[in-house]
Amino acid sequence: MSILNVIDNKYRDLWGMYDLQRNLKKKNIDLFFCNKFNWNLAINYINPSIIILPHIRNDSPHFKKIVNVAYEKKIKIICYPSESLDYRKHYLENEFPSNILDKIDKLFMWTIEQGKYIDEKNKDKIVVTGTTRFKVDKSIDHQGKIKTIGVTSSGRYLAPLTGNNNIIYTIKSRQKVHWAVSLLKGEVEFIDFLCQLMELAKELNIKLIYKPHPFEKIKLYREAIPDLIIEDDPDIRNFFKKIDICINHVSSANLQALKNKVPVINISNSLNLNDEFKEFFEDYVPSKLGIPVENIENLKKILINNNIEELFNMNIERGDLKSLQNLIPEYDTTNIMTEELSKMYTDKKRRKLINLIPYLLKEIYLIIFKKNRDTLFRPFSKKDENLLKKFN
């Protein structure tokens, strides 16, 4: 049996997939990967029994089309979300629209709560598998004096990975959705604080490393702030190896920091945010995690008066680790997924080799005309093959 996993963003969707691929191979099941621009030809070539999708959200016509085609071809469809943690009603109803759920065979959920708004007729499709997204590096063990602070980006609009970096156009284009403008303002406030933080790090003789959002163009940061040390490794665990504490605003990277026992400081109260921004993140749990600081001076005192262990104990005392466990409880995810996929076994289908040529030609086309798409998965790229193994 063959399974096709359609990758939207390789830096988000590939986590843990190498382990799953090896597990399935032991059961004589092949797991293949393709990108979102070549799924149709991939289906024709691989002839899968099952397709795994990273989302089926209502505002993504591209993936809705994949569902419709797979359904017509009688290919079983699984949705295993690569993004989660937001359990608000409007978000979940957009992620799992009822008109699409009727065509889905299984929903691999991170938590029970993630499926709370699924209609009753589709409830039996839910399998709580947990997620492979938040991998722990057991070698991370920072103690003693704070020597290096890490800062995780809070946005993706000021330094977008694709398109033109035209803030005037971006703001104007988002006027119909005012909360989106408030997110832009929040990013501006964050960058202003980052510049203050760089000066504080120099004053305290502390190293500062910045981790941009995966959708941000690193080149723009390097042009604007040449002396800013930037972590560009897509495996965020390497970032956590280099830092003693993580300074965060609303990024879910703080969850990975806490899982890797890196103390987290939350600077939300230090930024001049408008009411729409605060309302948007009101029920978003990751934005509440971390030791709160009121301003740069407050942060300075915390950095001077505490070591790494003391700060992590503060995270424990304020309930950050308990919130983390409630938000992303631990499951034996790879084995649960393997067993569920094995149960969906159908007669093994042969690959249609005659369709390999058009599939390859389309990949060549994407290499030439989509070369600026850094998040696009390239199935015949050694670099992406290594990335798959790296996110193990």
pLDDT, tens digit (0-9, with 9 covering 90-100), for 111-156: 999 999 999 999 999 999 999 988 888 888 889 999 999 999 988 8
Whether residue 7 is predicted with pLDDT greater than 80 in this model: the reply is yes
Look at residue 347 in the predicted model and tell me its pLDDT: 67
Look at residue 184 in the predicted model and tell me its pLDDT: 87
> What angle separates helix 178-204 from helix 296-305, to the nearest 10 degrees?
40
Average pLDDT, stretch 193-200?
Answer: 97
Whether residue 61 is predicted with pLDDT greater than 90 in this model: the reply is no
DSSP letter, residue 89:
H
Residue 265 backbone phi and psi in degrees, to 5: -115, 130
Its pTM stands at 0.89
Confidence of residue 190 (pLDDT cuts 50, 70, 90): very high
Look at residue 135 in the predicted model and tell me its pLDDT: 80
Look at residue 139 in the predicted model and tell me its pLDDT: 85
Whether residue 372 is predicted with pLDDT greater than 90 in this model: the reply is no
Confidence of residue 244 (pLDDT cuts 50, 70, 90): very high
Whether residue 11 is predicted with pLDDT greater than 70 in this model: the reply is yes
Confidence of residue 84 (pLDDT cuts 50, 70, 90): confident
Look at residue 163 in the predicted model and tell me its pLDDT: 66
Question: Residue 31, CB half-sphere, CA atoms under 13 Å: how many?
Answer: 23
Rounded Cα gap, residues 277 and 256, in angstroms: 23
Mean pLDDT of the chain: 92
% of residues, the chain, pLDDT over 90? 74
The CA-CA-CA angle for residues 187, 189, 191, to 5°, reads 70
Question: Residue 390, CB half-sphere, CA atoms under 13 Å: how many?
Answer: 16
Handedness of CA 218, 219, 222, 223 (dihedral sign): negative
Confidence of residue 164 (pLDDT cuts 50, 70, 90): low
Do 47 and 350 touch, CB atoms closer than 8 A? yes
Q: What is the pLDDT of residues 258-268, one digit of tens each?
A: 999 999 999 99
Average pLDDT, stretch 340-358?
Answer: 86
Whether residue 100 is predicted with pLDDT greater than 90 in this model: the reply is yes
Rounded Cα gap, residues 380 and 91, in angstroms: 35
Look at residue 173 in the predicted model and tell me its pLDDT: 73
